[in-house]
């Protein structure tokens, strides 16, 4: 036997090996499942008064606690920042949507390392964090394959992530990412695919994979559905469950829902129903055909929500029966803001239509009634249903009256709350209080530093005492609000609020350019008037003055200032980007889609495309060469039966094609091209070239003014994500030959319609 004593000496016999202790969660610490719904109003869950079937969430409410006075920020990215950091949205730089960031600390759209995420804090305390679903805490221009991933979920403490960036995505053909890379959907619409089911599948899979290795460490699962943000897509059979259900209209639905809210106790006795605003038509004023269209929009929403509820149920069932861990799992279900009004007065069959200046009119909506809710639409209900979804409150998402900020919050922890069945709590709470409540339940303190970075103070307060005892005093007595110039403050049962318009949306006579000092503040005693029916500004001037003064103090403390309701300013002076504009863009086949924010910008601009290909002998040369967008809008250059074609799809409203007039391509190497020459605003001539010879020409009388996609569809080479831009084929329609490379040359400055871009961003939140 060889001896090493002569080499290392005898001292090793006297040494004791030592390993740094592994981080362990406190004994008995619960798992945490945080479910975030999107654009679901206060009144849209069954346990909050709705007649939409949500049996899983109703069961959680029956076995747990409903908060009837829970609040958010009125927009999704800011609320998610509050939920995951425990700080106010301006404190962490998410004062508005990341895509409308401006160069001030409270509005820069980037959450610094000094504001630790729940995933980072819990991982440092022995938890296994996973994220599934919507993120929307990374600016769009940083969601590509050349991006710095530091603001992506895996860059902020989650071990795994499967989901989508941005405010919304197509529910049948989503733009998906896993961990730090793009992935195609696992199936297509023809296979019965739906994103909500996929997210539930992936959550179950991740939890199973964790437990296959680590049977002891608690998990933190952040499950953020696309439901119920537009597009309101659901499997057809779920929509059919609600056929005729909403034919009575939004006024009657609102009244019956309010009656149930009083009966359930989610609204205290004496609450009054806020009046229907003048810009929302009475249901009985609509023509019968328009009533049917409006009812169909709501049927799609209801099917979407009930279907999502069933997917939550699958996850809960796996935790309960598969893992046997539901007893010690803290389940929290919230919505990120009030119901959305982006569908407008009549509803929208494609949200991209509005901001391209070609909204679908009543006649078209009637003609396409049965298409609403299918893969070829991006449907969003009319704001009469928005009003109803926020019953009994005033206004809606993006505004800071209660309709925008009062939201459902259900907490169920079978082994940890010991609350009375179907408990309802009316103490005030806010999204920033969720993380402190989780930490309180676990029994750990917020860290002073994470990864060597000193941490900012957690601004939320645990409402765990309120969950356990209905007589406990509220843990939050003051909370400010600001969103795109609208402001509010709550203090000890009183609320001051002022609405600041972004434009002439409602014909209410308000001037969006009026000085902030001229804005009229309203005053409500929300402790007895939670629906903001009785404005006491004239009769209680001292109370109002005190609240307004408090608002200014809170604004200064939390980086709210400067006030700015001019979101166009964010587009005129965007965040600096390392991705520079250039004249030539080169793309290669079968790579990840390139987001529109960082792809070549060909709208309303002269450009030339050239694609070098090889056609294989004995194969029909067909497939997509280059494409951008989807059935909801975009363009595609493709071969069909060996013949070159180009199609421009204007937001699903108009289709203009240029057809090649040449024999099918023979085998061999070829250079295929398309040239667009602008002849007028949004119009031009398209020319096709095969081996540098003119092969087809046609007029494009109207092209896309503002943006091709708002649902994440990017630019692809050699295939299309879908649903397909053209009706000539079905995605992915991969090119059957070989693409060597594709080059797009553009001339002149890129065209920008800032107002249209603004509308696009706002409609996608």
Task: Give the catalytic positions in this structure.
Answer: 76, 136
Taking each helix axis from N to C end, the angle separating 288-317 and 55-63, rounded to the nearest 10 degrees, works out to 50
CA–CA gap between residue 281 and residue 234 (Å, rounded): 27
Cis upstream peptide for 231 (omega within 30°): yes
**Helix or strand run (H / E) with residue 545:** helix 541-557
CA distance 645 to 663: 13
Task: Tell me the two tokens of residue 679.
Answer: 């002849």
Tell me: cis bond preceding 723? Omega within 30 of 0 counts. yes
Backbone phi, psi, residue 626, to 5°: -140, 145
- Provide the Cα torsion 65, 66, 67, 71; round to 10°: 130
Query: Cα-Cα-Cα-Cα dihedral of 484, 176, 172, 736, to 10°?
Result: 130
Query: Distance between CA 520 and CA 500 in Å, rounded?
Result: 9
Identify which of 57, 50, 125 has the alpha carbon closest to the alpha carbon of residue 410.
Answer: 57
**CB within 8 Å of 415: residues ≥ 6 apart:** 30, 327, 328
Q: What are 212's two structure tokens?
A: 């296959």
C-alpha distance from residue 408 to each of 148, 227, 583 (Å): 35, 14, 49
Q: Could you give the CA distance from residue 215 to residue 266 in angstroms, rounded to a whole number?
A: 39
Count of other CB atoms within 10 angstroms of residue 591: 14
Distances (CA, A) of 685 to 118, 356, 575, 607: 54, 20, 34, 11
In 10 A of CB 171, how many CB atoms?
Answer: 30
Residue 220 — left, alpha, or beta (φ > 0 → left; ψ -120 to 50 → alpha)?
Answer: beta
Gyration radius (Cα) of the chain, Å: 27
SS (H, E, C) 598-653: HCCCCCCCCEEEEEEEEECCCCCCCEEEEEEEECCEEEEEEEECCEEEEEEEECCC
Inter-helix orientation angle 76-85/434-442, to 10°: 20
Outline where 71-222 has alpha helix (H): 76-85, 118-123, 195-213
Q: Which spans in 418-484 are helix H? A: 434-442, 464-468
DSSP strand pairing (219-224 vs 128-134): parallel
């Amino acid at each position: 036997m060889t001896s090493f004593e002569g080499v290392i000496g005898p001292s090793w016999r006297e040494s004791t090996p030592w390993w740094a202790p592994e981080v362990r969660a406190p004994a008995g610490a619960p798992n945490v499942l945080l479910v975030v719904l999107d654009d679901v109003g206060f009144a849209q869950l069954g346990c909050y008064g709705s007649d939409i079937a949500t049996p899983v969430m109703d069961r959680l409410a029956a076995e747990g606690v409903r908060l009837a006075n829970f609040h958010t920020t009125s927009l999704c990215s800011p609320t998610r920042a509050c939920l995951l950091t425990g700080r106010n949205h301006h404190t962490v730089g998410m004062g508005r949507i990341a895509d409308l960031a401006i160069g001030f600390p409270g509005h820069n759209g980037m959450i610094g390392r000094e504001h630790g995420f729940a995933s980072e804090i819990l991982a440092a305390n022995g938890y296994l964090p996973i994220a599934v679903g919507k993120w929307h805490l990374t600016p769009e221009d940083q969601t590509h394959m050349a991006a710095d991933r530091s603001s992506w979920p895996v860059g902020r403490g989650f071990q795994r992530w499967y989901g989508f960036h941005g405010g919304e995505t197509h529910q049948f053909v989503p733009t998906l990412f896993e961990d730090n890379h793009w992935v195609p959907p696992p199936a297509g619409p023809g296979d019965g695919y739906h994103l909500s089911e996929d997210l539930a599948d992936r959550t179950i899979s991740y939890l199973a994979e964790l437990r296959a290795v680590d049977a002891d460490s608690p998990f933190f699962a952040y499950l953020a559905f696309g439901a119920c943000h537009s597009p309101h897509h659901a499997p057809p059979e779920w929509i059919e469950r609600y056929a005729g259900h909403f034919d009575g209209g939004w006024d009657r639905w609102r009244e019956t829902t309010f009656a149930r809210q009083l009966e359930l106790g989610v609204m205290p006795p004496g609450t009054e129903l806020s009046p229907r605003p003048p810009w929302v038509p009475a249901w009985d004023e609509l023509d019968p055909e328009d009533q049917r269209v409006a009812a169909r929009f709501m049927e799609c929403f209801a099917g979407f929500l009930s279907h999502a509820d069933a997917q939550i149920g699958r996850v809960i069932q796996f935790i309960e029966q598969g893992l046997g861990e539901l007893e010690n799992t803290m389940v929290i279900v919230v919505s990120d803001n009030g119901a959305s009004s982006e569908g407008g007065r009549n509803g929208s069959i494609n949200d991209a239509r509005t901001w391209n200046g070609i909204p679908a009119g009543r006649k078209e909506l009637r003609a396409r009634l049965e298409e609403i809710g299918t893969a070829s639409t991006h449907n969003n209900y009319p704001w009469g249903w928005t009003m109803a979804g926020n019953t009994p409150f005033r206004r809606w998402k993006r505004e800071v009256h209660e309709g925008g900020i009062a939201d459902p919050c259900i907490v169920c922890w079978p082994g940890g709350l010991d609350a009375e069945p179907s408990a309802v709590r009316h103490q005030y709470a806010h999204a920033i209080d969720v993380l402190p409540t989780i930490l309180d339940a676990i029994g750990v303190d917020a860290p002073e530093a994470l990864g060597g970075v000193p941490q900012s103070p957690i601004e939320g307060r645990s409402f765990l005492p309120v969950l356990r005892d209905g007589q406990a005093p509220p843990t939050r007595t003051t909370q400010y609000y600001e969103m795109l110039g609208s402001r509010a403050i709550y203090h000890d049962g009183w609320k001051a609020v002022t609405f600041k318009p972004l434009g002439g949306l409602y014909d209410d006579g308000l001037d969006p350019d009026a000085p902030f000092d001229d804005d009229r503040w309203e005053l409500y005693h929300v402790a007895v008037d939670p629906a903001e029916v009785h404005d006491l500004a004239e009769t209680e001037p001292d109370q109002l003055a005190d609240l307004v003064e408090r608002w200014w103090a809170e604004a200064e403390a939390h980086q709210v200032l400067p006030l700015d309701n001019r979101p166009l300013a964010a587009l005129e002076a965007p965040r600096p980007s390392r991705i520079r504009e250039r004249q030539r863009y080169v793309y290669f086949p079968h790579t990840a889609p390139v987001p529109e924010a960082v792809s070549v910008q060909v709208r309303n601009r002269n450009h030339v495309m050239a694609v070098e290909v090889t056609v294989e002998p004995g194969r029909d040369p067909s497939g997509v060469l280059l494409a951008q967008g989807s059935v909801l809008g975009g363009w595609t250059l493709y071969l069909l039966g060996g013949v070159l074609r180009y199609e421009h799809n204007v937001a699903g409203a108009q289709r203009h094609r240029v057809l090649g007039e040449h024999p099918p391509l023979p085998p061999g190497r070829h250079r295929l091209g398309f040239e667009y020459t602008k002849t007028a605003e949004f119009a031009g001539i398209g020319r096709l070239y095969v081996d540098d010879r003119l092969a087809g020409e046609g007029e494009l009388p109207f092209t896309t003014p503002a943006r091709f996609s708002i649902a994440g569809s990017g630019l692809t080479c050699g295939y299309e994500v879908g649903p397909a831009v053209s009706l000539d084929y079905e995605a992915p329609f991969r090119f059957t030959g070989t693409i060597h490379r594709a080059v797009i040359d553009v001339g002149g400055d890129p065209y920008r319609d800032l107002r249209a871009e603004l509308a696009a961003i706002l409609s996608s939140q």
